A and B are shown apart, each in its own frame.
Chain A
Amino acid sequence: MFGIYLKRELGRRKKAALVIALGLALGIALVITVNSVSAGMTQAQDKVLKSLYGLGTDMTVTKARSAPTSGSSGRPNFQFDANSNDSDDTQSSDRVMTQGGQALASSVVTKVAQQKGVASAVGALTLNVTKVDGSFTQGKAQSSGGSGGNSGPGGNGGNSTAAPQVQGGGANFDVNSYSVAGVDVTDQMLGPLAGSKISTGKTFTAAQTDAKVAVVSKSYAKENSLKVGKTLKISGTKYTVIGIATPDSSESTTDVYLPLKQAQTLADAKNQVTTIYVKATDSQQIDSVKAAIQKNIPGTTVTTSADLAETVSGSLSTASDLAAGVGKWLSVAVLVAAFLVAALLTSSAVSRRVREFGTLKALGWPSRRVTRQVVGESIVNGLLGGALGIGLGLAAAYTVTAISPKLTAQLGSTGGGGMGGGPGGGGPGQQSAQNTMEIALSAPVSMTAIALAVGLAVTGGLIAGALGGWRASRMRPADALRSVS
C-alpha cells in the first residue's frame, strides 16, 4: 500500500511535488556548480603550480640568498676592450649567474631524500645567462678650433691652450637574457623537466650526466632557430641540442635544460644546486614532511604547493576566492533556503491533508505508518529534486567548460634571487618579478559532487519529511476530523 499510495500521491499532485522538487533542485544545482567551478579553479591553480614545479613535485627546498658581501655587488660584470675606429670586430660576453636562492651543497639533496615521508628528492641548478653582443669603438682626439688656427696663415700667436676633443666612437650592444636549468638526468620524473613533454628529439639519458647536450624549450628554439642536432653556445661552451621540450602549461619559465654537472661547471658552482624538488610518500603528509625538513636541515626554506598557491593573484585568484567564499556561502544559503521551503511546503501539504491523515488514523493506521508515508513522499520528492538538480548542475558545469572563460594568474614576486626561498622563489627560471599566465577555466563534475548532491537531496527530503511527518504523527484523529467539520 505504501508504494501505491506514494505513486498515486506524487502522480496526482504533480504540481505540488514539482514545486518542492524544483526548490531543492535549485539548491543542489548551485552546490554542484560551485563545487565544479571550485574544482576547476583548483585544477587551474595546479596547472600554474606545475608550470613552476613540474609534475609530481610536492615541495621545493631552497635557501634564502644572503646579502651581498662588500666588494661583491651580486650584479653581472662585463668588460669590453674598445676597438680602433676602423675595426668592425664584434665582441661577445656571457655572464652566468645562479638564480633563485643561495646555492645548496649537493649533499643536502641526499639529506632531504633521507627525511621521513620523502619519496624522492632531486637537485637542480637554475641559472640566468646574460649575453651581451656588440662592438665598442674608440673615439678620436681632435684639437679644437683654436688649435686649427695655429696652422693657419699668419698664425703666429701659437700659444693657444684649448684641449683636444674626442669625436666619433661609441657602442652598439645587444643584450639577451635567458634561463638555464641544470637537470639531474638520473631522475627526470621530478625537477624542471617534469612539467614538459619532449615533442621533438629525445631527453637526456641517465648516462649523460656530464655530456655537452641540451634540451631547449619550444619557444626558445623557435626564437633562436634551433633544431635537434644544432649546437648552442653558452659562455664559450658548445652544446648539441638533442630535444625540444613543450611545457604542459601555457607558459614555460626555462629556456635551456642541461645536465646538472654541465650547469654547475658553467656557473662555477661545483656540487651545488639552487632548488631541491621533493616528492612526498603521502600527499596528506606534506605539512609534516615540510616541518621535518625545516627542522633537520636548518637554514632552508621549504615551499609547498599550498604556499605557492597563496602567491597566485590575478583573476584566477579573485575567481577562486569568490568560489571559495561567496560561492560557498551562497550555495549554503540557497540550500538552507531550499530545505526550509521544502519543509514548509511539505508541512503545508500535511495541513491540507489533515482530514486524509485523520481518516487513516481513525481507520486504525498507527502514527508511524502515517509518518512513514509522509517521509517517503518527501524523500521521493527530494530524489526528484536531486535528479533535477544534478541535471541543472551538469548543464551549468558543461556551459562553464564550453565557454572556458580565461583567467589570468600572477605568480608572486620572486626576483632574480632576492626572494630566495620565498614562495616560488625556488622555481626555476623565474626572471621577472611576476609571471603572468592565462588559464582556461573548466568545471569538472566529480562523482563526489554527484554523491554529495544525492546526499543533499535525501537530506532535504528527510528534513522536509521529518517536519511534515512529525506534524502528521501528532494529529489526533478526532482533532483532524473536527478541523474540517
Chain B
Amino acid sequence: MYRLTGVTKRYTRGKETVEALRGVDLTIEDGDQLVIQGPTGGGKSTLLQMIGGLDRPTEGSVELDGVDLAKISEARLTRLRAEKIGIIFQSFNLIPTLTAQENVETALVPLGVKPAERRERAAQALRSVGLGERLTHAPAELSGGQQQRVAIARALVKKPKVLLADEPTGNLDESMRDEIMALLEGLWHEYGLTFVMVTHDSSIARRAPRLATIRAGQIALTEQSLTQG
C-alpha cells in the first residue's frame, strides 16, 4: 500500500524555484488502479516519479508498505525499484542496441537471475504480450506498438508489486492505443498489480476506476468509488 503525506517537490531552474507538487496526500491500496490526469507541467510525471522511487520529495513522505522512500538509502531504493516496481515509459525507453529479449532481460539483471533463467523468463514475458516471434529483433525493427509491448514485458518480467506507466499510449495511434490499454488492463487483473498510470487521454481516464487530477501541483481525486487520501 502506498501512503503519500504532504509531498512537496521543488525544482530550481537558474534563479527560479518551481513547485511541481504542493503538499500532496494520497493513498493507493494494493491492487488499485489509479489514473493521473492533468495539464502539461501540472506535476503528473513528478508524482509518478515520487511513487516509483525515481526521485525524492523536497518535503513529505512516500511510504510503500511502511517504508519511506524519501528516507531510505540510494542503494536500498535502487534495490526496491528492481524488486517491486515495474515502469513503462511514453517513449518506450528500450536500449537500441539490444534485442527485444535482451531488453526484457535487463530488468532481471539487478536481481541476480542466472543467464539461462533470465533468457527463458524474458522469452516467456514476450510471448505473453504476443511477441514470441520477435525475440531477436532490435527495437528499430519493431513498430511503436511492438516496442511498447516489449517495454510492458520488461516491466512485468520480474513480477513486480507495482506497475507504473507514464503516458504509455502517448506515442501510439488510436488502434494501437486500445490494443495496449486492453493488454495493460488484462495484465492488471491477471497479476493483481497496483497500477498507476499518467495520461493525457480523457477516454482512457474515463475507464479508470479512480481518477486523480493534478493542477499546479495540487491533487484532486475524482471519486468514482475507491479510497481518498
Question: Contact residues of A with B, CB < 8 Å?
Answer: 1, 4-5, 8-9, 11-13, 355-356, 358-367, 369, 476-478, 481-482, 484-485
- Given A1-B105, A485-B45, the answer on whether A363 and B81 have CB atoms closer than 8 Å is yes
- A195–B52 CA distance with the chains assembled, in angstroms: 81
- Which residues between 96 and 127 of chain B lie within 8 Å of chain A, taking CB atoms? 96-98, 102, 105-107, 109-111, 115, 118
> Which one of A13, A364, A484, A485 lies within 8 Å of B81 (CB-CB)?
A364
Q: A residues within 8 A CB of B154?
A: 363
Indicate if the CB atoms of B98 and A5 lie closer than 8 Å.
yes
Indicate if the CB atoms of B54 and A478 lie closer than 8 Å.
yes
> Which one of A1, A8, A361, A484 lies within 8 Å of B97 (CB-CB)?
A8
- A4–B107 CA distance with the chains assembled, in angstroms: 15
Q: A residues within 8 A CB of B45?
A: 482, 485
Most buried by B among A11, A360, A364: A364
Other A-B pairs beyond A1-B109, A8-B102, A369-B110, 8, CB < 8 Å: A9-B97, A12-B96, A12-B138, A363-B154, A364-B78, A476-B55, A477-B55, A481-B54
- A361–B89 CA distance with the chains assembled, in angstroms: 13
- A369–B118 CA distance with the chains assembled, in angstroms: 17
- Given A1-B109, A363-B107, the answer on whether A12 and B78 have CB atoms closer than 8 Å is no
Q: For chain A, what secondary structure do more than half of its interface residues adopt (helix, strand, loop), or is it mixed? A: helix
Indicate if the CB atoms of A361 and B78 lie closer than 8 Å.
yes
Q: Please report the total number of B residues contacting A with Cβ < 8 Å.
A: 34
Indicate if the CB atoms of A364 and B55 lie closer than 8 Å.
no
Q: B residues within 8 A CB of A367?
A: 74, 78
- A9–B90 CA distance with the chains assembled, in angstroms: 23
Q: B residues within 8 A CB of A362?
A: 52, 54, 81, 87, 93
> Which one of B49, B55, B106 lies within 8 Å of A363 (CB-CB)?
B106
Residue on B nearest A2 in the bound complex, by CB: B109
Indicate if the CB atoms of A366 and B75 lie closer than 8 Å.
yes
Q: A residues within 8 A CB of B93?
A: 355-356, 358-359, 362, 481
Indicate if the CB atoms of B91 and A365 lie closer than 8 Å.
no
Residue on A nearest B83 in the bound complex, by CB: A364
State whether the Cβ of B10 lies closer than 8 Å to any Cβ in chain A. Answer: no
Residue on A nearest B82 in the bound complex, by CB: A364
State whether the Cβ of B72 lies closer than 8 Å to any Cβ in chain A. Answer: no
Q: A residues within 8 A CB of B85?
A: 364
Indicate if the CB atoms of A477 and B54 lie closer than 8 Å.
yes
Q: Least Cβ distance of B209 to chain A in Å? A: 26
Closest 6 interchain pairs by CB? A364-B82, A478-B55, A8-B97, A359-B93, A364-B110, A478-B54
